[in-house]
Chain A
Amino acid sequence: MVSDFAWVKPDPSGIYIAPADCWIDPSKAVRCALVTHGHADHARGGHDITMATPETLAIMALRYGTEEGAIPAAYGETIKLDGGVSATWVPAGHVLGSAQILLEHAGERVVVTGDYKRRFDPTCAPFEPVACDILITEATFGLPLFQHPPVEDEVARLLSVRANNPDRCVLVGAYALGKAQRVIAELRRAGWSETIYLHGAMEKMCRLYAELGVDLGPLALMAEVPKADLAGQIIVSPPSALNDRWARRLPDPITAMASGWMRVRQRARQRNVELPLVISDHADWDELTQTITEVNPAETWITHGREEALLRWCELTQRKARALAMIGYEDEDD
């Protein structure tokens, strides 16, 4: 190898691309930010220049207001940065607009996956593996015990619990960006065509998804419906609202939560969840290891999550790897 990839510098507050003076997913305001997706821990406002997919920019505009200096980068489009660096956005399959970023400089290729998954998701473009020298990967669910079950099984459980409790409603806690829309879309795929009710915090994002061409079927705000009419219905709220006073307005809700963490019983108990649904927008252990095997990079760098276990796996499979100890990316609600 001709260089040690010194042009890519991991820093606790983001990945810095020195020749271009650009950051990927910085946690502080910078001159130029390349953003992988719209979740708050990766996409922050206040940069002079923000480059991201048009969908991610739309999501950021909805959350922070339109920013000056937004530069859209469609999937597959390559943008020339300063210092002889070019960047290409490639689908990551995490949420609508989510991307991996391929960086090329002096014949070297580095891919930053951002958050990603390999499963089918009706609300976003599927992950595409990209050949590279260095793969900078997430490891949110980087423990072998995390094996996400088929999403169809989890949605079928949700529908059967609903059917068995006609006097109650099912309240599903789901991350407001991505998970909520995916759960709704999966319910539609499973044949649930009734109106799905939303917590107020969900409405704008669902509307944006619909505007961007993701069909979510009939939706309504829960606040506008009398309590009695909500029996037998499905309501989607942010996880933080599950045990909130807000939920008291519902008819004896069955508290569900759609999250990869629900695989561990005590995690579900900590959140007072009665119906844990193991639905995640992150790669599970097999997807993480399969992706590294498939891309087969010379080195794997791990941004955040349970990096010790993935490092160990790399060691066992004789792969060069290091942990970057990034902070602020913890995804407790996914």
Chain B
Amino acid sequence: MEAFADLIDGLTYTRSRNGKLQLLAQYLRDTPDPDRGWALAALTDGLDFPAVKSSIIRKMLMERVDPVLFTLSRDYVGDTAETASLLWPRPPHPPSPPTVSEAVDILAAMTRASVLRDLPMLLDRLDANGRYALLKLATGAMRIGISARLAKTAFAQAFDVPVDEVEEYWHGQAPPYAPLFAWAADGAPAPSGEGLPLFRPFMLAHPLDETIVDMADYAAEWKWDGIRVQIVHAVGPAGGETRVYSRSGDDISATFPEVAAALTIPCVLDGELLVRGSQQGGEKGGAASFNALQQRLGRKTVSRKMAQDYPAFVRLYDALIIGTEDVRGLPWEQRRLRLEQFMAQLDPARFDISEVVDAASLDELAALRERARDEEIEGVMLKRRDSPYIAGRRTGLWYKWKRDPLLIDCVLMYAQRGSGKRSSFYSDFTFGCWDGDPDQGADLLPVGKAYFGFTDEELKWLDRYVRSHTTNRFGPVRETDRSLVLEVAFDSVHESKRHKSGLAMRFPRISRIRTDKPAYEADRIDALRAFIGGT
């Protein structure tokens, strides 16, 4: 556990990506199985200990430290696990620390009934850094700047194997990944994924920004506003199985059972999960707004009514595997043809194909994109016609070209300290618009909350502003004197019962700090309401 704690510390404080890769690669080389496998799983969110939750850690601490002092400490640190690791009273003669695999075994054996007895015993064996590492491993919220992709790159670097192969084999494996290490470190045969409905890494797009492309080389499609999914059907010895995976590779089949059930032919397809409706692209577009899809997200089970009211389907973009043939090496044009032919075998209620948008030039496409705003379409995608399907984000192959954001001037009302890296900064901002004429005594109503969009310098400025314009405090929240105008950018706005203003913004972010504008000149709720429907 000490080596793992040192690794966590090193990764926390090392700035450069290369430095992080080196640290991690060295740990993976030097540490024996199964410790390194468990560590890798911890870093990539591959571990889950249902009995150990943040709330349990809080409860455990409240039994040992005054609850008010704990809460104040937690508020300052911005992280429950770290607060607990710092406040934990160390016994005078601590027993020897556990290995990672011993700790994992003990954590896995914990139940709701035993956790309050067994977790303290484990913490007593560790110093502050060890406790931090253990609690992070147990609760799965590392937040140390290690993406799953970076961990896989480090794995590839440690054993000098191609990272795309690591991605591919990884998903069929469970921690502590013994076959994966045997393959990479000892030259054993690669783990086979045959007959398993495995996730394959997505191909991703760069923002187009100022790039100019020749439309002769690219095909355009609408950028639908749902969630990107991969749907996989495989037939193994136990029969056929279908899985729906999210962008991050999470299995969300249980949330969309009607979609999973509709696919019965072996294949791996890439598309956008949407709900039937007519907001996006009108009647012809056939898709409801993201808001409708949101009703279905995050549910472990789906009622029949839910499935009826919000019927889900997948709008297909691409094919990775058709039947038993891996088509990822083919150019996009040929994959597209194969996909179009394959559509005939799919249930049209659950699958359709994302139509190609004809545009001879970027200017023509820009005009189409602008018109699409009226139909609540997020933007367009550009795909190089001769490009294979390549994992990750490769320059020059796929671009996303979102429509320009909508803008509104709001007044800063409340600020709350952020968590993690921003734990000491007031970085979560709630802002409002006037419910009438401010000169006639109108009031500000909160319309949204944003915690990004600003630069580090602007954040420092905002933090100082909040501290010196506080009129009231409610725990971690400060109310300001409502003097600062913020230009807020957002993608769209919808009716919502959750907010007093009756409106909810999608993707609000702070676009500019308007010190030049007095608060009474900020926009009114009616101005925001007028944006409903995308105009």
Q: Does B442 make an interface contact (CB < 8 A)?
A: no
User: Which stretch in A41-49, A68-76, A272-280 binds the other chain?
Assistant: A272-280
Chain B residues lying within 8 Å of A270, measured Cβ to Cβ, are: 421, 424
- Please measure, in the bound complex, the distance between the C-alpha atom of A242 and the C-alpha atom of B72, giving whole angstroms: 30
Q: Contacts A143-B76, A269-B13, A272-B15: A309 and B424 contacting too (C-beta < 8 A)?
A: no
Q: Does B14 make an interface contact (CB < 8 A)?
A: yes
B87's partner among A145, A267, A273, A274 (CB-CB below 8 A) is A145
User: Closest chain B residue to A315 by CB distance?
Assistant: B68
- CB-contacts of B1-31 with A (<8 A): 12-15
Q: Does B423 make an interface contact (CB < 8 A)?
A: yes
Q: Is B78 touching A266 in the complex (CB atoms < 8 A)?
A: yes
Q: Does A7 make an interface contact (CB < 8 A)?
A: no
Q: Is A266 touching B15 in the complex (CB atoms < 8 A)?
A: no
Q: Is A312 touching B15 in the complex (CB atoms < 8 A)?
A: no
Q: Is the interface of B mostly helix, strand, loop or mixed?
A: helix
Q: Is B72 touching A143 in the complex (CB atoms < 8 A)?
A: yes
Chain B residues lying within 8 Å of A267, measured Cβ to Cβ, are: 423-424
- Please measure, in the bound complex, the distance between the C-alpha atom of A265 and the C-alpha atom of B12, giving whole angstroms: 8
Q: Does B122 make an interface contact (CB < 8 A)?
A: no
Q: Contacts A266-B79, A270-B424, A316-B66: A309 and B73 contacting too (C-beta < 8 A)?
A: yes
User: Closest chain B residue to A142 by CB distance?
Assistant: B72
Interface residues on chain A, size class: 20 to 34
Q: Does B83 make an interface contact (CB < 8 A)?
A: yes
Min C-beta distance of B481 to chain A, whole Å? 16
Q: Is B421 touching A269 in the complex (CB atoms < 8 A)?
A: yes
A274's partner among B14, B82, B420 (CB-CB below 8 A) is B14
Can you list, as one digit per residue, whether each of A259-297 has a CB less than 8 Å from chain B (1) or not (0)? 000011111111011111000000000000000000000
A312's partner among B12, B66, B82, B83 (CB-CB below 8 A) is B66
Q: Is A312 touching B69 in the complex (CB atoms < 8 A)?
A: yes
Q: Does B307 make an interface contact (CB < 8 A)?
A: no
- Please measure, in the bound complex, the distance between the C-alpha atom of A312 and the C-alpha atom of B68, giving whole angstroms: 7
Q: Does B77 make an interface contact (CB < 8 A)?
A: yes
User: Closest chain A residue to B15 by CB distance?
Assistant: A272
Can you list, as one digit per residue, whether each of B248-274 has a CB less than 8 Å from chain A (1) or not (0)? 000000000000000000000000000
A273's partner among B13, B76, B83 (CB-CB below 8 A) is B13
- Please measure, in the bound complex, the distance between the C-alpha atom of A144 and the C-alpha atom of B76, giving whole angstroms: 11
Can you list, as one digit per residue, whether each of B81-119 has a CB less than 8 Å from chain A (1) or not (0)? 011001100000000000000000000000000000000
- Please measure, in the bound complex, the distance between the C-alpha atom of A265 and the C-alpha atom of B65, giving whole angstroms: 21
Q: Is A265 touching B73 in the complex (CB atoms < 8 A)?
A: no
Chain A residues lying within 8 Å of B13, measured Cβ to Cβ, are: 268-269, 273-276
Min C-beta distance of B409 to chain A, whole Å? 30
User: Closest chain A residue to B79 by CB distance?
Assistant: A266
B82's partner among A264, A275, A308 (CB-CB below 8 A) is A264
User: Closest chain B residue to A144 by CB distance?
Assistant: B69
Can you list, as one digit per residue, whether each of A124-161 has a CB less than 8 Å from chain B (1) or not (0)? 00000000000000000001110100000000000000
Q: Is A145 touching B423 in the complex (CB atoms < 8 A)?
A: no
- Please measure, in the bound complex, the distance between the C-alpha atom of A312 and the C-alpha atom of B87, giving whole angstroms: 16
A266's partner among B69, B72, B86, B424 (CB-CB below 8 A) is B424
Chain A residues lying within 8 Å of B73, measured Cβ to Cβ, are: 143-145, 309
Min C-beta distance of B10 to chain A, whole Å? 9
User: Closest chain B residue to A143 by CB distance?
Assistant: B73
- Please measure, in the bound complex, the distance between the C-alpha atom of A63 and the C-alpha atom of B365, giving whole angstroms: 64
Min C-beta distance of A9 to chain B, whole Å? 23
Q: Is B82 touching A265 in the complex (CB atoms < 8 A)?
A: yes
Interface residues on chain B, number (Cβ under 8 Å): 24
Min C-beta distance of B133 to chain A, whole Å? 11
Chain A residues lying within 8 Å of B72, measured Cβ to Cβ, are: 143, 306, 308-309, 312
- Please measure, in the bound complex, the distance between the C-alpha atom of A85 and the C-alpha atom of B87, giving whole angstroms: 43
- Please measure, in the bound complex, the distance between the C-alpha atom of A275 and the C-alpha atom of B19, giving whole angstroms: 14
The A-B contact count (CB < 8 A) is: 64
- Please measure, in the bound complex, the distance between the C-alpha atom of A34 and the C-alpha atom of B208, giving whole angstroms: 63
Chain A residues lying within 8 Å of B86, measured Cβ to Cβ, are: 145, 147, 263-264
- CB-contacts of B32-81 with A (<8 A): 65-66, 68-69, 72-73, 76-79
Chain B residues lying within 8 Å of A275, measured Cβ to Cβ, are: 13
User: Closest chain B residue to A269 by CB distance?
Assistant: B421
Q: Is A264 touching B77 in the complex (CB atoms < 8 A)?
A: yes
Chain A residues lying within 8 Å of B68, measured Cβ to Cβ, are: 309, 312
Min C-beta distance of A327 to chain B, whole Å? 9
Min C-beta distance of B226 to chain A, whole Å? 34
Chain A residues lying within 8 Å of B422, measured Cβ to Cβ, are: 266
Can you list, as one digit per residue, whether each of A290-319 has a CB less than 8 Å from chain B (1) or not (0)? 000000000000000010110011001000
Q: Is B424 touching A144 in the complex (CB atoms < 8 A)?
A: no
Chain A residues lying within 8 Å of B424, measured Cβ to Cβ, are: 266-267, 270
Can you list, as one digit per residue, whether each of A233-274 has a CB less than 8 Å from chain B (1) or not (0)? 000000000000000000000000000000111111110111
User: Closest chain B residue to A263 by CB distance?
Assistant: B86
Min C-beta distance of B20 to chain A, whole Å? 12
- Please measure, in the bound complex, the distance between the C-alpha atom of A144 and the C-alpha atom of B71, giving whole angstroms: 11
- Please measure, in the bound complex, the distance between the C-alpha atom of A308 and the C-alpha atom of B14, giving whole angstroms: 34
Q: Is B66 touching A145 in the complex (CB atoms < 8 A)?
A: no
- Please measure, in the bound complex, the distance between the C-alpha atom of A306 and the C-alpha atom of B77, giving whole angstroms: 12
- Please measure, in the bound complex, the distance between the C-alpha atom of A273 and the C-alpha atom of B13, giving whole angstroms: 6
Q: Contacts A265-B12, A274-B13: A144 and B420 contacting too (C-beta < 8 A)?
A: no
Min C-beta distance of A332 to chain B, whole Å? 9
Min C-beta distance of A174 to chain B, whole Å? 18
Chain A residues lying within 8 Å of B87, measured Cβ to Cβ, are: 144-145
Min C-beta distance of A17 to chain B, whole Å? 28
Chain A residues lying within 8 Å of B132, measured Cβ to Cβ, are: 265
Chain A residues lying within 8 Å of B66, measured Cβ to Cβ, are: 312-313, 316
Min C-beta distance of B257 to chain A, whole Å? 41
User: Closest chain A residue to B423 by CB distance?
Assistant: A266
- Please measure, in the bound complex, the distance between the C-alpha atom of A241 and the C-alpha atom of B422, giving whole angstroms: 21
Chain B residues lying within 8 Å of A266, measured Cβ to Cβ, are: 77-79, 82, 420-424
User: Closest chain A residue to B12 by CB distance?
Assistant: A265
Chain A residues lying within 8 Å of B76, measured Cβ to Cβ, are: 143, 145, 264, 306
User: Closest chain A residue to B16 by CB distance?
Assistant: A274
Chain A residues lying within 8 Å of B83, measured Cβ to Cβ, are: 145
User: Closest chain A residue to B66 by CB distance?
Assistant: A316
- Please measure, in the bound complex, the distance between the C-alpha atom of A275 and the C-alpha atom of B13, giving whole angstroms: 7
- Please measure, in the bound complex, the distance between the C-alpha atom of A263 and the C-alpha atom of B85, giving whole angstroms: 11
User: Which among A143, A145, A263 has the greatest number of chain B C-beta atoms within 10 A?
Assistant: A145
User: Which among A270, A275, A313 has the greatest number of chain B C-beta atoms within 10 A?
Assistant: A270
Q: Is A145 touching B77 in the complex (CB atoms < 8 A)?
A: yes
- Please measure, in the bound complex, the distance between the C-alpha atom of A263 and the C-alpha atom of B83, giving whole angstroms: 11
- Please measure, in the bound complex, the distance between the C-alpha atom of A267 and the C-alpha atom of B83, giving whole angstroms: 13
- Please measure, in the bound complex, the distance between the C-alpha atom of A268 and the C-alpha atom of B129, giving whole angstroms: 14
- Please measure, in the bound complex, the distance between the C-alpha atom of A38 and the C-alpha atom of B77, giving whole angstroms: 30
- Please measure, in the bound complex, the distance between the C-alpha atom of A265 and the C-alpha atom of B9, giving whole angstroms: 9
User: Closest chain B residue to A272 by CB distance?
Assistant: B15
- Please measure, in the bound complex, the distance between the C-alpha atom of A308 and the C-alpha atom of B66, giving whole angstroms: 13
19 contacts between A and B (CB under 8 A): A143-B73, A144-B69, A145-B73, A145-B87, A264-B77, A264-B82, A264-B86, A266-B422, A266-B424, A269-B13, A270-B421, A270-B424, A272-B15, A273-B13, A274-B13, A274-B14, A276-B13, A312-B69, A313-B66
What 9 new A-B contacts, CB under 8 Å, besides A144-B73, A265-B82? Answer: A143-B69, A143-B73, A144-B65, A264-B77, A266-B79, A266-B82, A266-B422, A266-B424, A270-B424
Closest 6 CB pairs of A and B: A145-B86, A309-B72, A266-B423, A145-B73, A274-B13, A312-B68
